[in-house]
Amino acid sequence: MPKPLLTSGQVSILLTSSIVFVFTLVLFLSGYVLQQKTVHSLQAAIKPRLPKPLPAPKPIQPPTLDVKWARPVGGRPEVDETFEQYMAEQTLNWNRLGYAQVVREHVELCSAIMLLGDLHRLKSPAKRILLFPRSWLKEEDEGWNPELMTTRRLLRTAVRRYGIVLMPMETIIDGADDSLPSSYSLASLYSLTEYERIIHLQGPGMLLDASALDSLLAFSKSEPMAAYPATPERKDLSTSLLLVHPSIEDFRRLKDVRASKPMTDLDLFRQSFSVPESLISKWSLSMGNVIYESPSLRDAIDGFNATIFEEATAYVRLSDPEIPGPEYDVPYYDRVAIRPNNNEARAVWEKLYERFRQRRMEICGLDLEVWTKPMLQAGRTDEA
Ligand SMILES: *[C@@H]1O[C@H](CO)[C@@H](O)[C@H](O)[C@H]1NC(C)=O
């Protein structure tokens, strides 16, 4: 009997090794394929992509801007200058344009954050800046101070949720008592020299439309001061809306004037800037209510239309003089006594106060403040 070429043991070894070989090959091949795939996808990722065709250039950035508000401040309409030419000269750098709020007391902080937060919600491309006393950042050793804790919580919210830039400010007179609200001034707006133009709105109020204000900020000429006029006669400036070009010279000048004697910010600005040169031009304000004061709703006549009013108004300052402000819980009968008689105007008025209350809860997590009606109806110290 011829000897078999392979013993059964050898056969099984051979079989096993060929199985191992086949599996190794399969493993190798699949590994190779995988690797090639990875290399291809890596190459695809590294390879510069063909740029998508750009959308047609838009003359105005961002799209929320409203051309009808695009009027240079202080300037006369120049007949030979088309809008396009005017735009071409403007280099819009939104990092150099901003809205700034100045808070001096803890109770003002929420309203300032609400306004800046609403600018964020309405997608304003400008920077949002909050000036507040530097002393609020000092470590307290008097123990637990609930007011300061709320303030610190709100400052964190301002940064995290609304991208607000925090700017601690010094007292306007060097060495003044940093715990007194009266030691701080709107003149600190002039210290923000990294910005080309700044809008300050006097609070508290409700923002209805950011695009009108954005356009005012974007298309205005830089001037030391362009203030909202106190009256239609344009004899005085008010602090309801300030459009300023910060500069260290004006900041020093205002500090010097303020150091000469105690005065309100309104008096400081009236003394330091002449009218009508330092007023926003009539032309800039001719397209609607950039600023509206809530007590004016009481003068509404028949035919007042709430829809049209809301569309034509950018900002309503809630400034009814009989009550301390929309942050306070005013008893029903006191509200009834001061609300507008005209049905449409009353609906607007009540909606604004109610929306303020809701936004305060949403943004700051705060209820209305308790208000005890003063026995003697002293008018609210009002600067506008
Ligand atoms: C207000 O104006 C709008 C738009 O013009 C119109 O649709 C609405 O009916 C008006 N409302 C009243 C009460 O007249």
pLDDT at 92: 78
Backbone angles phi, psi at 30, to 5 degrees: -65, -35
Distance in Å, CA 157 to ligand 1 centroid:
39
Task: Tell me which residue of 238, 164, 236 sits closest to 202, measured CA to CA.
Answer: 238
Distance in Å, CA 307 to ligand 1 centroid:
6
Residue 311 Cβ inside 6 Å of ligand 1? The answer reads: no
pLDDT at 75: 42
How far, in whole angstroms, is CA 287 from its chain's centroid? 22
What is the spatial distance between Cα 218 and Cα 70, in angstroms, rounded to a whole number?
8
Q: Tell if the pTM clears 0.85, that is, is over it.
A: no
pLDDT at 30: 64
pLDDT at 16: 64
Q: What is the dihedral of CA 84, 86, 88, 89, to 10 degrees?
A: 170
| Both tokens assigned to 96 | 């150099």
Other CB atoms within 10 A of residue 56 CB: 5
pLDDT in single tens digits along all 384 residues of the chain: 555 555 666 666 666 666 666 666 666 666 665 555 555 554 444 333 333 333 333 333 333 344 444 444 444 444 445 555 555 555 678 999 999 999 999 999 999 999 999 999 999 999 999 999 999 988 766 667 888 999 999 999 999 999 999 999 999 999 999 999 999 999 999 999 999 999 999 999 999 999 889 989 988 889 999 999 999 899 999 999 999 999 999 999 999 999 999 999 999 999 999 999 999 988 778 768 899 999 999 999 889 999 999 999 999 999 999 999 999 999 999 999 999 999 999 999 999 999 999 999 999 999 998 888 776 544 444 444
Tokens 């306007």 found at: 172
Per residue in 117-141, pLDDT tens? 999 999 999 999 999 999 998 876 6
pLDDT at 56: 39
Q: Report the CATH number of the 89-290 domain.
A: 3.90.550.10
pLDDT at 49: 35
335 contact partners, CB below 8 Å, separation of at least 6: 323, 353
| Contact present, 299 and 341 (Cβ < 8 Å) | no
Tell me the longest C-alpha to C-alpha distance in the chain.
132
What is the spatial distance between Cα 225 and Cα 243, in angstroms, rounded to a whole number?
6
Per residue in 224-277, pLDDT tens? 999 999 998 999 999 999 999 999 999 999 999 999 999 999 999 999 999 999
Distance in Å, CA 306 to ligand 1 centroid:
8
What is the spatial distance between Cα 97 and Cα 116, in angstroms, rounded to a whole number?
14
| Contact present, 339 and 332 (Cβ < 8 Å) | no
214 contact partners, CB below 8 Å, separation of at least 6: 64, 65, 124, 125, 126
Task: List the domain boundaries for the chain.
Answer: 89-290
Residue 343 Cβ inside 6 Å of ligand 1? The answer reads: no
pLDDT at 25: 63
| Contact present, 167 and 138 (Cβ < 8 Å) | no
pLDDT at 42: 46
What is the spatial distance between Cα 376 and Cα 39, in angstroms, rounded to a whole number?
82
pLDDT at 142: 60
Atom of ligand 1 nearest to the CA of 308: 2
Residue 308 Cβ inside 6 Å of ligand 1? The answer reads: yes
